[in-house]
Amino acid sequence: MATSVPVTLPNGLTYEQPTGLFINNEFIPSSDGELIASINPSTEEVIAEVHAASIEDIDKAVISSRKAFKEVWKNYSIDGISRLLHKLADLFERDREILTSIEAADSGKPQISNASGDIDECVLQFRYYAGWADKRGGTVAEATSDKLGYIVHEPHGVCGQIIPWNYPLAMASWKIGPAIAAGNVIIIKLAENTPLSMLYVGKLIVEAGFPPGVINIVAGHGKIAGNAIATHPGIDKVAFTGSTLTGKSVMAAAAQTLKNVTLECGGKSPMIVFDDADIDQAVKWGHWGIMYNMGQNCSSTSRILIQDTIYDKFVDALVKYTKETYSVGDVYDATKHHGPVISKVQFDKILGYVESGKEQGATLAFGGKAPYEKGYFIEPTIFSDVTDEMKIWKEEIFGPVVCLSKFSTEEEALYRANDTTYGLGSAIFSADISRCLRVSRELDAGTVWINSSNDTSHRIPFGGFKMSGIGSELGQYGLDNYTLKKAIHVNIGSKL
């Protein structure tokens, strides 16, 4: 059975697309012949069919990973690990054109304004964690004057990593960088909708010189391959990014073998705009905070609370800015910044929320329509006069739909911002830094942006409070997820 196919993308680029399971540095067919069709959300056409991992295939991946960890990786030179991550970053830079072309077709990201930014993100992650590979060493703590503890940071071993479709390459890089730098081997399960770019990366992993089995990459169904990773006794840790609902089932499955679990889940993040804010900046960041990547960001600031004295002004300015910057269309056209949403399922779900907003009495201030016959394009959509009981205010839409609502006091804004089961992101706009810092401390969220929204840095931890997740990714804290702390007690002179 073929494990690669020639593909010509809509921008004319022709290349050989790997379609097999990437195990032990080889592309192999799935054991039961199951395939998943990857669809271009702009054209609704199949780009390629890839092999879907069965339970038996996950067993194969685990055998390969365990062997690689035991025989090669556990004692691999840390300088060598660092060099491999830098090499992978070099290859991402070299293959930017092909990677962004695949990503634009497979995920619907505009090639220049979005997909290229994801490559920058991957390169930064790999280089940043390449720098950590030789700095993960332990600490020493004195128990008494004649006894000390030598605390070693050891890798977990085999890490299962399950990623979503909204940032197929970037989410993989968030997981590969720290796990590899900390000395683990990994099995990454790709999202059903977007397997193509990461399967192509399998070729780069071989070219970079990673030993077989250190990074295994599989496409597959969540309930089969994802669940097999979460339950497998040969996998020591599972790191998941996706919806809160799936996160719960991954955690429950991983409990069977008491695996270490980190979860990055959903959100319904608030942004609070006080009346002393720079409105022009608040409007631009507010737009970016929800519309970037067609609103398919876990930490999108999808609920904007605006102080009543500037409410009308803000709503008008946001609608005007959205109208002026409207650029929905061809993902290969550099002047377009807004592509389709990922799938028919998401398209229908998002338009269902738009209907619900209208039915429940919110004002549709802009957008709300599917502008083209073909493709899953949805206009940037603004609802004003949204109230706390409305579905569009409460539930994660995961699309380009923002809810605007007015508040009068700081206490009210805080209460309503925190009145959600999620706790991923949050933003405050105000010229009063004392207020910004005070409100930041009261917001129940893993991230607070003061006078910006939805900008992450590879150096700064990112993670959810409440039902948005467990643990942090990025920065030094991200590395911490991937090590076990072993205490070695050293008796210098204490006698019994």
Which phi-psi region, left, alpha or beta, contains residue 368 (left: φ > 0; alpha: ψ -120 to 50)? left
Residue 340 beta carbon to ligand NAD: minimum distance, rounded to whole angstroms: 15
Sole binder of ligand NAD in the list 155, 400, 464, 478 (CB under 6 A): 464
Sole binder of ligand NAD in the list 398, 407, 429, 465 (CB under 6 A): 398
Q: Which stretch binds ligand NAD (CB under 6 A): 145-153, 176-184, 265-273, 358-366?
A: 265-273
CA-atom Rg of the chain in angstroms: 23
Residue 98 beta carbon to ligand NAD: minimum distance, rounded to whole angstroms: 23
Annotated active-site residue in 122, 159, 265, 298 = 298
264 lies in the binding site for ligand NAD (CB under 6 A) = yes
Structural contact between residues 169 and 201, judged by C-beta atoms closer than 8 angstroms: yes
Residue 162 beta carbon to ligand NAD: minimum distance, rounded to whole angstroms: 5
Interface with ligand NAD in residues 122-151 (CB under 6 A): none
Q: What six digits make up the tokens of 98?
A: 């092909």
469 lies in the binding site for ligand NAD (CB under 6 A) = yes
Count of CB atoms situated within 10 Å of the CB of 432:
13
Query: Would you say 18 or 464 has its CB closer to ligand NAD?
Result: 464
Sole binder of ligand NAD in the list 94, 135, 147, 223 (CB under 6 A): 223
Residue 323 beta carbon to ligand NAD: minimum distance, rounded to whole angstroms: 27
| SS3 call for 338 | strand
H or E segment and range at residue 21 = strand 21-23
Query: Would you say 224 or 272 has its CB closer to ligand NAD?
Result: 224
Q: Which phi and psi angles does 384 have, rounded to 5°?
A: -110, 175
Distance, CA of 215 to chain centre: 19
Residues 6+ apart with CB under 8 A from 444: 418, 423, 465, 466
Query: Would you say 164 or 270 has its CB closer to ligand NAD?
Result: 164
Query: Would you say 379 or 396 has its CB closer to ligand NAD?
Result: 396
Query: Would you say 95 or 118 has its CB closer to ligand NAD?
Result: 118
Residue 141 beta carbon to ligand NAD: minimum distance, rounded to whole angstroms: 33
121 lies in the binding site for ligand NAD (CB under 6 A) = no
Q: Can you tell me the distance from the alpha carbon of 418 to that of 139, in angstroms, rounded to the nearest whole number?
A: 38
Residue 115 beta carbon to ligand NAD: minimum distance, rounded to whole angstroms: 16
Sole binder of ligand NAD in the list 20, 41, 177, 242 (CB under 6 A): 242
Residue 188 beta carbon to ligand NAD: minimum distance, rounded to whole angstroms: 9
472 lies in the binding site for ligand NAD (CB under 6 A) = no
Sole binder of ligand NAD in the list 170, 186, 191, 392 (CB under 6 A): 191
Interface with ligand NAD in residues 286-305 (CB under 6 A): 298
Query: Would you say 223 or 438 has its CB closer to ligand NAD?
Result: 223
Q: Can you tell me the distance from the alpha carbon of 349 to that of 294, in angstroms, rounded to the nearest whole number?
A: 14
298 is catalytic: yes
Sole binder of ligand NAD in the list 53, 159, 182, 265 (CB under 6 A): 265
Which of these, 284, 292, 373, lies nearest to 109 by C-alpha position? 292
DSSP string, 127-187: HHHHHHTTS---EEEEEETTEEEEEEEEE-SEEEEE--SSSHHHHHHHHHHHHHHTT-EEE
192 lies in the binding site for ligand NAD (CB under 6 A) = yes
Residue 243 beta carbon to ligand NAD: minimum distance, rounded to whole angstroms: 4
424 lies in the binding site for ligand NAD (CB under 6 A) = yes
In terms of DSSP bridges, do strands 35-40 and 260-264 run parallel, antiparallel, or are they unpaired? unpaired
Q: Can you tell me the distance from the alpha carbon of 125 to that of 107, in angstroms, rounded to the nearest whole number?
A: 21
What is the layout of strands, in order, in the sheet containing 215-218? 26-28, 21-23, 215-218, 185-189, 158-162, 237-241, 260-264, 469-470
Q: Can you tell me the distance from the alpha carbon of 271 to that of 277, in angstroms, rounded to the nearest whole number?
A: 12
166 lies in the binding site for ligand NAD (CB under 6 A) = yes
Sole binder of ligand NAD in the list 164, 286, 400, 425 (CB under 6 A): 164
Annotated active-site residue in 264, 379, 396, 473 = 264
DSSP string, 177-201: HHHHHTT-EEEEEPPTT--HHHHHH
Residue 171 beta carbon to ligand NAD: minimum distance, rounded to whole angstroms: 6
159 lies in the binding site for ligand NAD (CB under 6 A) = no
> b or e along 472-485 (b: 16 or more beta carbons within 10 Å of the residue's beta carbon)?
bbbbeebbbbbbee
Q: Which stretch binds ligand NAD (CB under 6 A): 241-249, 274-282, 410-418, 431-439?
A: 241-249
Residue 299 beta carbon to ligand NAD: minimum distance, rounded to whole angstroms: 7
- Give the residue ranges of DSSP H helices in 259-333: 279-291, 311-324
476 lies in the binding site for ligand NAD (CB under 6 A) = no
| Max CA pair span of the chain | 82
Sole binder of ligand NAD in the list 19, 227, 293, 447 (CB under 6 A): 227
Structural contact between residues 266 and 243, judged by C-beta atoms closer than 8 angstroms: yes
Number of amino acids touching ligand NAD (CB under 6 A): 29
Mind telling me the catalytic residues?
Answer: 264, 298
| Residues within the interface to ligand NAD (CB under 6 A) | 162-166, 189, 191-192, 222-223, 226-227, 230, 241-243, 246, 249-250, 264-267, 298, 396, 398, 424, 464, 469
